[in-house]
Chains A and B, each alone.
Chain A
Amino acid sequence: MLELFVYGIVLGSIIALGAIGLTLVYGILRFANFAHGDLMTAGAYVALFFVASLFPSLGVPDARLAPFSFGWRMVAAFPLAMAAVAGVAILLDKTLYRKLRQKGSSAVMLAMSALGASFIVRMVVLILWGADYRSFYPGVLRPAMELPLGVKIRPDQVLILGVAAFLVVLLHLFLHRTKMGKAMRATADNPELARVSGIRTERVITCCWATGGALAAAAGVLYGIDVQIHPGMGWNFLLPLFAAAILGGIGNVYGALIGGLVIGVLQQLSTAFLLPTYKPAVAFVGMILILLIRPQGIFGPRE
């Protein structure tokens, strides 16, 4: 049971990274980005492209970083995947969402266009890489180490927690210490007053997509390191991402973090009693129970 809890925290940290991006975009643009899960998929496959295709053909050395299951190529591919998906997110905004925004489209229209964008991203991944399950480093043994109280955990999973925590701290510093980060918070808080203060909203939106996309890519790659990747992975994550973001109080970054951890733990603990197939249902039952007690979400505004 304790072991499942620890696995839940690992899964939860991945969900949290995705949910934070979702909640950032919602906070500033007020629409549900159904393509967010597929940005995770895109991140995982961009990393796969670097690790398994581009770097080997360039002859980039790849000494394995024991005790982890991967090598230097992954270390290099990780930030590159984040940057690439940040670019994809910005591109989607400039070619699609921005046009709709300028026409004054409703939130429902934007959400539906995001749904369309999610199909496009997923199909591109399918066409380029096929439908199979893939590993970044196929055939590598991934032994578990034993922690006190008999908890077995793989070194990879410890690293996933560390990387997720590092990214959250980085995001916190960005949002609270930099001018652009503060402008993002100000725009989410009160868009009209932000404009009145001279903040160029379009630039803030671009930055918001870049941040959300990069975090989604990180989540996708970390999931790939933990388990395996396939074109439907991000889509399967979409429901837990929304559950986590809503549970935490949508629009609130720290809420999404806590929400992600809660959903991750609930999902893993449920596998002790239920088939893993029910995991998404567990996420939503958990969300509904908490919303019954706190309708505004854990960190939602009180009004």
Chain B
Amino acid sequence: MNLLEVEGLRAGYTEEVDILNGVSVQVGEGEIVAIIGPNGAGKSTLLKAIFGLLRPREGKVTFSGEDITGAAPEVIVRKGMSYVPQVQNVFTSLTVQENLEMGAFVREDDFSDRLEALYRMFPDLERKKGERVGRLSGGQRQMVALARALMLDPKLLLLDEPSAGLSPAMVSVVFEKIREIKGAGVAILIVEQNAKEALRLSDRAYVLAMGRNVLSGPGEELLENEEVGRLYLGGG
């Protein structure tokens, strides 16, 4: 059984217009799955609909065998799924440490060991833990966003364009961290503009266009696929 099963999801922001026209996606335990596609294909919308920020009109979302279609984000996060939005994914007026504490908000017990583990993974953040996140660089903020989402030790992490707006050097650092997170056994569903990197990183990938699945397959295979190359990887 897959960790996440999305079947025929239909959703949109206004009454009449559907951004998603029946998308189906699966993510297995510990698997990293990429979603690529042109602007406006509905990639980010899909993550929002999975995480309960947008109510699906049709279709079904199953997580760990439990139907979570239309559940609120504050409920879904308690089931072991975390989400990192593309923008505004940190609390800028809070310190680094407070951001991580908010990531563990639903935990009532002592989470200092988890905090330490994440500081080992992101040593930069430990040095800056008392600093307000608004004062950090874009790359460091992205690390805070990832660490916040990992505080609950989720089974599945939803990442919306983690490389957007970062310098090329920082992009490779972020992808390196994502590999590391996967190495720790966390399944990842990642949406990316940076399709080449995303495909190299992932076990499997889906190509989305006009709110529909167009293609799917192992990441390396799609990287070789001529049509994908022509349409989404910029070059023939």
Complex CA–CA separation, A196 to B73 (angstroms): 5
B175 at the binding interface (Cβ < 8 Å):
no
Instruction: Please name the residue on chain B nearest to A191 by beta carbon.
Output: B88
A146 at the binding interface (Cβ < 8 Å):
no
The answer to whether B85 touches A185 (Cβ under 8 A) is: no
The answer to whether A189 touches B105 (Cβ under 8 A) is: no
**A183, A185, A188, A193: residue with the most chain B Cβ atoms closer than 10 Å:** A193
Binds B, one of A197-205, A236-244, A268-276: A197-205
B103 at the binding interface (Cβ < 8 Å):
yes
The answer to whether B103 touches A197 (Cβ under 8 A) is: yes
A100 at the binding interface (Cβ < 8 Å):
no
Q: B46-63 CB contact bits vs A (8 Å, 1 = yes)? A: 000001010000000000
Contacts of A179 in B (CB 8 A): 101, 105
Provided the pairs A195-B73, A197-B148, A198-B77 are in contact, do residues A189 and B91 lie with their beta carbons within 8 angstroms? Answer: yes
Contacts of A199 in B (CB 8 A): 74, 102, 105
B117 at the binding interface (Cβ < 8 Å):
no
Contact of A186 among B72, B77, B83, B91 (CB under 8 A): B91
The answer to whether A185 touches B94 (Cβ under 8 A) is: yes
Contacts of B89 in A (CB 8 A): 193
The answer to whether B77 touches A196 (Cβ under 8 A) is: yes
Contacts of A193 in B (CB 8 A): 85, 88-91
Provided the pairs A197-B105, A198-B78 are in contact, do residues A186 and B88 lie with their beta carbons within 8 angstroms? Answer: no
Which residues of B131-185 have CB atoms within 8 Å of chain A's CB atoms? 148, 152
A64 at the binding interface (Cβ < 8 Å):
no
The answer to whether A198 touches B93 (Cβ under 8 A) is: no
B2 at the binding interface (Cβ < 8 Å):
no
**A183, A193, A197: residue with the most chain B Cβ atoms closer than 10 Å:** A197
Provided the pairs A196-B51, A197-B102, A197-B103 are in contact, do residues A186 and B94 lie with their beta carbons within 8 angstroms? Answer: yes
A142 at the binding interface (Cβ < 8 Å):
no
**Chain B interface residue count, Cβ-Cβ cutoff 8 angstroms:** 25
- CB B90 to nearest CB in A, in angstroms, measures 7
Complex CA–CA separation, A182 to B99 (angstroms): 9
B98 at the binding interface (Cβ < 8 Å):
yes
Provided the pairs A179-B105, A183-B105, A192-B53 are in contact, do residues A197 and B77 lie with their beta carbons within 8 angstroms? Answer: yes
User: What band does the interface of chain A fall in when counting residues whose beta carbon is under 8 Å from B?
Assistant: 10 to 19
B39 at the binding interface (Cβ < 8 Å):
no
A95 at the binding interface (Cβ < 8 Å):
no
Contacts of B91 in A (CB 8 A): 185-186, 189-190, 193-194
Instruction: Please name the residue on chain A nearest to B83 by beta carbon.
Output: A196
The answer to whether B102 touches A200 (Cβ under 8 A) is: no
Q: B89-113 CB contact bits vs A (8 Å, 1 = yes)? A: 1111110001001110110000000
The answer to whether B88 touches A192 (Cβ under 8 A) is: yes
Instruction: Please name the residue on chain B nearest to A194 by beta carbon.
Output: B102
- CB A113 to nearest CB in B, in angstroms, measures 25
- CB A276 to nearest CB in B, in angstroms, measures 38
**A179, A190, A198: residue with the most chain B Cβ atoms closer than 10 Å:** A198
A residues touching B (Cβ–Cβ < 8 Å)?
A: 179, 182-183, 185-186, 188-190, 192-201
Extra pairs beyond A195-B72, A196-B77 (18, CB < 8 Å)? A179-B101, A182-B102, A186-B94, A186-B98, A186-B102, A189-B91, A189-B92, A190-B90, A192-B88, A194-B91, A194-B102, A195-B53, A196-B82, A196-B83, A197-B77, A197-B102, A197-B106, A198-B77
Could you show 27 A-B contacts with beta carbons less than 8 Å apart? A179-B101, A179-B105, A182-B94, A182-B101, A183-B102, A185-B98, A186-B91, A186-B102, A188-B93, A189-B91, A189-B92, A190-B90, A194-B91, A194-B102, A195-B53, A195-B72, A195-B74, A196-B73, A196-B77, A196-B83, A197-B102, A198-B77, A198-B105, A198-B152, A199-B74, A199-B105, A200-B74
B residues touching A (Cβ–Cβ < 8 Å)?
A: 51, 53, 72-74, 77-78, 82-83, 85, 88-94, 98, 101-103, 105-106, 148, 152
4 closest A-B pairs by beta carbon, nearest first, are A198-B106, A198-B77, A189-B91, A189-B93
